[in-house]
Structure 1
Amino acid sequence: MGSIGMKMPDLSELRAAMRGRAVVAEARVVLADRLGCHEAEALQHLIWLARDLGMELEDAASLLIAHSPAGADVPDLPADAELMRRSVEAAHQAYRTVEAAAGGGEPGTLNEPGTLNEPPAVNEPPGRPAEADTARPLEADTARPAEADMESDARLLEGTPEDPVAQAVLDAALGSACLLVPIRAVDGHVVDFLHAAFGAVAEDIFGRSPEELIGRRLLRTDPGSRLNGLFPAYVEVLETGRPFARGPFDYTAVHHGTSRIVQLSIRCVRVPTGVCLTWRFHDEEERLRRRLDRSERLAKIGFSEWNLATDEHDWSPQMLANYGRLEDEGPLVLDELPKIVEPADLPLFEQAVHVLFNRREPVQVEFRIRTPDGANRHLWLYAEPTLDRSGLLTNISALTQDITSRRSMEGVLAETRRDLLRLQGETARERQVALTLRRAVLPPDRVLAGAPGVSAAVRSIPAENTARIGGDWYVTRVLPGGRSMFAVGDASGHGLAATADMARMRNGLLGLAYTGEDAGRLLSWLNDLVHDVGPATTGTAVIGHFDPETRELCWAGAGHPPPILVRDGRARLLEAGGEPDPLLGAFPGMEYRTSTVRLRSGDLIVLYTDGLVERRGTDLDDQIDMLAGIVVSHGGELHQMLDDILKGMALDRFADDTTLFALRVR
């Protein structure tokens, strides 16, 4: 026996929540397969269906799963986040490679203005890692150039003559432009360039101003230009005079440990004092283009322009895709469109064309087409005319959206709704049958009438939710010899099957009760009956015998919540020693134990099913403690006490069956 305050491990609430989530998850996959959409969108449709039909989400999900083919799969969507992550990682790896290479690639130091000595070979001291130089931060050299370099660079910049040609290029450039003068080694080959002048508009990838860059070396401010081939290209322009152009292309640069990638176009020409660069960033243009392309693709919206004066047709890639056209096939002309429109929709399409050209008004129309590959598509078209000042029609702008998946989804949803309505009706009829069977099997609330030494009362309430009607049952009998037998049980599952199992358990116990055997023996026989006869099932039960002569209560339990004994204003649980005996039907040939307790006048025994104490988000032991507290505080008539218990426990009539039995010793 144990006290009410003891905590009994119970996972039923967690398991129930997990089952509910699993049912909804499986139904989401099934519906996503039927609709051809992503699981998240399918879940939203499932929620709407359940709300529209006045059903719980889990109940609608259960119906959908029970009447859907197994093995539904949902096509995977592109893993944009993963691609982005990998791209970023790859970019950062590239930046680290650029930094390492550039950090160790300093060609040397200037000796005379415009010339450079090659760096001498240095033997590394023992124990120094070979990669130490390449791991050095890129800006270490950039931020702290040799004093000789700074002096010689200043002399080179000061000695650069005026260059009218270079200035004309800088002044004429529409975008960023600069003049680079060469820095040569002793043998005359170019080892770097010096920023000598900038145009009126100059935009650096890192936002550095011309004042910050004038007088600084190209390979120190932009070491990536050596690795990506730009620096050799500038040298070739200087030496050959042939202009250089590249772009747009992806350009990577590093500054103070920060790497950036931009879309860039570059032009380079030779001038008397060096080379002039002009460049332009395409980031904003590229971003807008990608955004438009992505919007067209995701929404399946295509755009087109038809110049009536030149008869030129301009279709976006998605416009071609909506009509099943390849890029090399080009747009359809107006005379070809009726050939692919479904005959049933052709009058509507022709009416729209008439309004557009004759009345010169915008039109909206939905129609179906058959593409060259034989696919049927639903298209929504919006077209608008453009008129010149004299009112003549000069241009047609059109937008077409492929709404095939939407129309298909609407059809599947309508069919699914019809199926759920049918299943809801079938479930309602099943509930009615279950309730009728329950009323036929279970006796009225008047129990143990005329039993010597005791008075009793019972409440047995079926769930209001159609799908949650369970297998709660109870039995009371006055046996030959004056003993009172009472039992409360619960067959696993819900619905008509659980009600049938309940009737089998209860009627089996009624027949076994007249053998005169103790409660443990009756449970052992009932266990074999549940296991061997009829469909396999499980259940819980607690059986008690009260002898009015000895005032002994002999009881046994099979996986059922323990009875509560109230004596002298205190409550405790009746528990057998050791581990509780298992569920009925779980183990054939199981021998159940019988426990005995001597009762006194005024003692109260309370039996109940899990529907009274199990609640989502609450601890089972806390709920049993609450039940015991209500029983202890109530000293009135039994029927009133049971009603007050149901009210005090905030009974959820929608969730599960509930049975509550009380016996008081006189």
Structure 2
Amino acid sequence: MAGLRRANREYRREEAAPSGVTLPTPDVRLTGPEGEPDLGELLGALPLPAALADPLVGPDGTVRDFVAVAVNPAGLRYLHQRSALRRDRTPGRRLPAGDVFPGLVTAELLTDLTRVLRTGEPTPGIEVRWQVRRAGGRVERHTDLLTVHRLGSRLLMVWGTSDLARMARAAQRIARVGWGEWSLLDGVTQSSGGLRDLLGLAAGDPSPTAADLLDRVLPVHQPRLFDALRLLLETRDPVDVELLLRVHRGVHRIRLVAEAVGEDQGPVRGVRGVLQNITELSESRRRVRHQQEEIERQSRRADAEEAVVRRLQDALQPRISARMDEAGLRTAVAYRPTEGLVGGDWYKVRALPGGPALIAVGDARGHGLDAVALMSTLRHALAGIAYTGASVEEMTGWLNEIACDDGPESTATAVIARYFPPSRLLRWVCAGHLPPVLLGDGPPRLLAPAIGLPLGVLPGTGYEAVETVLQPGQTVLLYTDGLVERRDRDIDDRLATLLAVLGEHPPGLPPQSLVDQVVDAMSGPFSEDDATLLALRLAG
């Protein structure tokens, strides 16, 4: 206050005896009436930055500028914080407003100030921008809200930072929220700009009353709102309720969180609430729930399909005939399905009456019911044509025709073999399949195949057989690609790994133990395809 009084005294002395500073003098002196209150004292009582300004009127009667005559202490502090006021320009002297507030006074602002002076109607808040250059050339920008009132022949300018208010309004808009407080005593309503935006109100529309909000609630949700308000008034506990409201762009889903206003032990004087437009959030949740339900339906369907396929596959997988011992062969098989995927692996081992034994391993393309159906077709067809006494070349050719007739997607690989006990001869055909492995004296090795096209690729394809004479104690291993193929590994590397794994097992290991251990070692916990390993050991 002392600083303000000094500035006011200097101003009055300057009025009586002008200093050496040359300042423009208005052609028309606009002064207040005699005995007006000490405006300096009133100015100092304002907690917000404020200034008094006189108009500077030209010969034609138009206002050309405004002269700052006094700034309160809050204004001085604010100006110094903004670095917008030089020490040699401290108010207390009649200075043009543009000198006191550099960068603030613009032609547009001058028009607004002139209108207030002419009409006496205060401004609701003019957004003005400061541009302050700091040391080192760094530029800062600040935004203020300037409110202007006419006091007699002068203007009272009150300003304050609007950054927080502007950011709060922006935050409400971004989050689509707004708040309001409704008095139960006198019906007075206070609301934020965000609430007005949320309800689609125009700038000049009055704040929405409690009745206005109630009218916007759809009838189907009005009982829900009544129950929530009754609970709030009776218990004073906050309430949280979702409502459907009519707004300017249709019906939106609004979340209302409200609390009671009043003393702890006194009556409820009002209701304070925050409203949030959750239409998009609710729709997103609905879509997520729908997707989750669809995923669950698909999962149940997949589980049911897998269960059916598993039962079907178990029923279709053959039992190895005990008569294979009569042919001098000990046989064993290990099958590992892929978790969640049932593939088309199949095998056939049968001792035919009075003739050679039938041995086959194959892999139908794909997974699921289609693969199981093709696998079943090929296996049963092979079981029938084996009794014709046809050679393995002919049988493989017939299977190829069956697969071709089944459709372009019905392809498979296979090794088809006949074993002749008297000569210990194994005649086999490779239809796009991986070659067998021979175990015996020396390290495990791959048998050299005469590779033909997979089944179902080209009608009329011919196949060539390979003949291998087995020695007592030797073991032949037939397998599907799921045992060795991996997406990130070369097939030759994986075949080398298979041979290395087989070489680690003792020669006399029982066939069933051998296939089980090899499948476990090669498949791992995350198999990408089902795997089958069939062992044939000639008794020694």
TM over 0.5: yes
- Please state whether the residue corresponding to 1:332 is helix, strand or coil: coil
Q: Is the 8 A contact 1:447 1:458 kept in 2?
A: no
Aligned to 1:332: 208
1:533 matched to 2:392? The reply is: no
Query: Which position in structure 2 is the counterpart of 1:277?
Result: none
1:392/1:178 CA distance change after superposition, 3 Å: same
Q: 2:475 aligns with which of 579, 597, 604?
A: 604
Deviation at 1:399, TM superposition (A): 0.6
The CA deviation string for residues 523-551 of structure 1, in whole angstroms up to 9 with x for no partner, is: 34323321212683222222233344554
1:489 corresponds to 2:371: no
Cα deviation 1:417-456 (Å, max 9, x = unaligned): 5555554444444334323332333221446614535332
1:658 partnered with 2:537: no
Indicate the residue corresponding to 1:302 in structure 2.
178
Q: Counterparts in 2 of 1:537-548, with a 5 A limit? A: 537-548=410-421
Which residue does the alignment assign to 2:316?
A: 441
Distance 2:203 2:188 in 1: 16
What residue identity is the alignment partner of 1:563? P
| 1:300 counterpart letter in structure 2 | R
Q: Matches of 1:326 and 1:451 in 2, distance apart?
A: 97
Note the alpha carbon deviations across 1:38-62, whole angstroms, 9 max, x for none. xxxxxxxxxxxxxxxxxxxxxxxxx
- Give, in whole Å, the separation in 2 of the partners of 1:179 and 1:320: 35
Q: Are positions 1:315 and 2:219 aligned together?
A: no
Does 1:172 pair with 2:68? Answer: no
Aligned match of 2:516 in 627, 637, 643?
Answer: 643
- Matched letter for residue 501 of structure 2: I
Instruction: Give the counterpart letter for 2:272 in structure 1.
Output: S
Amino acid in the other structure paired with 2:521: G
Displacement after TM superposition at 1:575 (Å):
4.2
Question: CA 1:260–1:359 in 2, change beyond 3 Å: closer, same or farther?
Answer: same
Cross-structure match for 1:364 = 239
Deviation at 1:502, TM superposition (A): 1.1
Higher relative contact order (CA 8 A, sep 6+): 1
Q: TM-score, normalised by structure 1?
A: 0.53
Tell me the amino acid that sits aligned with residue 172 of structure 2. E
Structure 2 segments unaligned to the other structure (5+ residues): 1-68, 91-101, 111-125, 147-158
Aligned residue for 1:643, secondary structure, equals helix
Answer whether contact 1:341 1:367 (CA < 8 A) is retained.
Answer: no
The amino acid of 2:474's aligned partner reads D
Q: Which residue of 2 aligns with 1:586?
A: 457
Q: C-alpha displacement at 1:303, in angstroms? A: 1.9
Q: What CA distance in whole angstroms lies between the structure 1 residues aligned with 2:87 and 2:171?
A: 44
From 125, 133, 141, give the equivalent of 1:262. 141
The one-character-per-residue Cα deviations of 1:145-179 (angstroms, maximum 9, x if unpaired) are: xxxxxxxxxxxxxxxxxxxx999999935233669
| 1:248–1:264 CA contact under 8 A, matched in 2 | yes
Within 2, Cα distance between the matches of 1:512 and 1:175? 103
* Structure 1 residue 475: Cα displacement: 1.3
Aligned match of 1:477 in 342, 347, 350?
Answer: 350
For residues 415 and 530 of structure 1, the distance between their equivalents in structure 2, rounded to whole angstroms, comes to: 41
Give the corresponding residue for 1:554.
427
Q: Report the alpha carbon displacement of residue 364 of structure 1 after superposing the two structures with TM.
A: 0.9
Q: TM-score, normalised by structure 2?
A: 0.64
Q: Contact (CA 8 Å) 2:104, 2:129: kept in 1 or not?
A: no
Conserved 8 A contact 1:528-1:589 = yes
Q: Deviations over 1:343-369 (max 9, x none)?
A: 34323322333455x558253131422
Contact 1:527 1:590 in 2 (8 A): yes
- Per the TM alignment, residue 662 of structure 1 is displaced from its structure 2 partner at its CA by 0.7
Q: How many residues align?
A: 433
| Distance change >3 Å, CA 178–CA 443, structure 1 → 2 | closer
Q: 1:459 aligns with which of 334, 353, 362?
A: 334
Q: Between the two proteins, what is the percent identity of the paired residues?
A: 28
Deviation digits for residues 579-615 of structure 1, max 9, x if unmatched? x645433344444443444443333211122333346
- Cα distance per residue 1:182-205 (max 9 Å; x no partner): xxxxxxxxxxxxx88698xxxxxx
**What is the CA deviation profile of residues 599-657 of structure 1, one whole-angstrom value per residue up to 9, with x for unaligned ones?**
43333211122333346766655544443333222322212212222343355498653
Question: Does the 8 A contact of 1:605 with 1:664 survive in 2?
Answer: yes
Q: How many Å separate the matches in 2 of 1:591 and 1:261?
A: 85
* Counterpart-to-counterpart distance in 1, 2:129 and 2:335: 78
- Distance change (3 Å), C-alpha of 1:251 and 1:522: farther
Matched residues in 2 for 1:407 and 1:472: separation?
48
Q: Does 1:634 align with 2:506?
A: yes
Q: Distance in 1 between matches of 2:140 and 2:264?
A: 47
Q: What amino acid does structure 2 have at the position aligned with 1:458?
A: V
Which letter does structure 2 place at the counterpart of 1:303? W
Secondary structure at the aligned position of 1:493 is classed as strand
Paired residue for 1:186?
Answer: none
Q: CA deviation at 1:328?
A: 5.3
1:536 partner SS: coil
Q: Give the match for residue 347 of structure 1.
A: 223
Please give the alpha-carbon distance, in whole angstroms, between the structure 1 residues aligned to 2:135 and 2:402: 81
Amino acid at match of 1:562: P
What CA distance in whole angstroms lies between the structure 2 residues aligned with 1:324 and 1:179? Answer: 39
| CA-CA distance at 1:232 after TM superposition | 13
Instruction: Verify the 8 A CA contact 1:612 1:651 in the aligned structure 2.
Output: no
Tell me if the contact between 2:324 and 2:350 (Cα under 8 Å) persists in the aligned partners.
no
Q: Could you tell me how far 1:490 is from its partner in structure 2?
A: 1.6
When the two chains are superposed, the root-mean-square deviation of aligned CA atoms in Å is: 4.7
SS in 2 for 1:649: helix
Mapped partners of 2:499, 2:318: distance in 1 = 26
**In structure 2, what is the Cα distance between the partners aligned to 1:592 and 1:626?**
29
Q: Is 1:382 matched up with 2:253?
A: no
Q: For 1:522 and 1:644, locate their aligned partners in 2 and report how far apart those are by CA, in whole Å.
A: 32
Alignment of 1:190-205 (within 5 A): none
Max Rg structure: 2
1:570 aligns with 2:443: yes
